[in-house]
Amino acid sequence: MSFLLCCPNCGERSVYEFRFGGEVRQRPTEEASLREWADYLYARKNEAGVQKEWWYHHLGCRTWFFAVRDTTTNTVLKTFGADK
């Protein structure tokens, strides 16, 4: 389902103005093993439900921000800047 996303700078816009950046993950520390880095690169929770994810306003202010979205319904619960 197509939906609207509320950019923290530009307000509500069509999702087609944005680039999807994937689910938010914890970056490993410098001491992490190769296995942990491979998991960070490839493995995903791929949540069927509410997940926190990265978005980029490609055809707007060109900034990255977070959205909390239910992936089963595409309901966007909230969006907020990456500095929040």
Partner 1 sequence: MLQLFRKERMWRPHFLKARYDVVIIGAGVHGLAAAYYLGKRGVTNVAVLDKGYLGSGNSGRNTAIIRANYRTPEGIPFYHESVRLYEGLSQDLGYNVLFSQQGHLTLAHTDSAVDGLRVRAEANALLGVDSRLIGPDEIKRLVPAIDISTSAHQPIRAALYHPPGGIIRHDAVVWGYARGADRLGIEIHPHTEVQGIQTENGQVTAVQTNRGQIKTGTVLNVTSGWCSTIARMVGVNLPIVSHPLQACVTEPLKPFLDKVIVSSNLHVYVNQTDRGELVLGAEIDPYSSYSSASTLPTLEMIAAHTLELFPALVEVRVLRQWAGVCDMTPDYSPIMGEVPEVRGFLVDVGWGTYGFKAGPVSGKTMAELIATGRTPDLIKPFALSRFYEDRLVGEKAAAAVSH
Positions touching partner 1 (CB under 8 A) are 1-2, 14-16, 18-20, 22-23, 34-35, 38-39, 41-46, 48, 53, 71-74
Nearer to partner 1, 18 or 66 (CB): 18
Shortest Å distance, C-beta 51 to partner 1 = 9
Number of Cβ within a 10 Å radius of residue 78 = 10
Shortest Å distance, C-beta 9 to partner 1 = 19
Shortest Å distance, C-beta 78 to partner 1 = 17
Nearer to partner 1, 40 or 80 (CB): 40
Nearer to partner 1, 49 or 81 (CB): 49
The radius of gyration computed from the CA coordinates of the chain, to the nearest angstrom, equals 14
Structure tokens of 71? Answer: 């992936």
Question: Which residues face 69 on adjacent strands?
Answer: 51, 76
Secondary structure (DSSP) of 17-51: GSEEEEE--PPPPTT--HHHHHHHHH-----SSEE
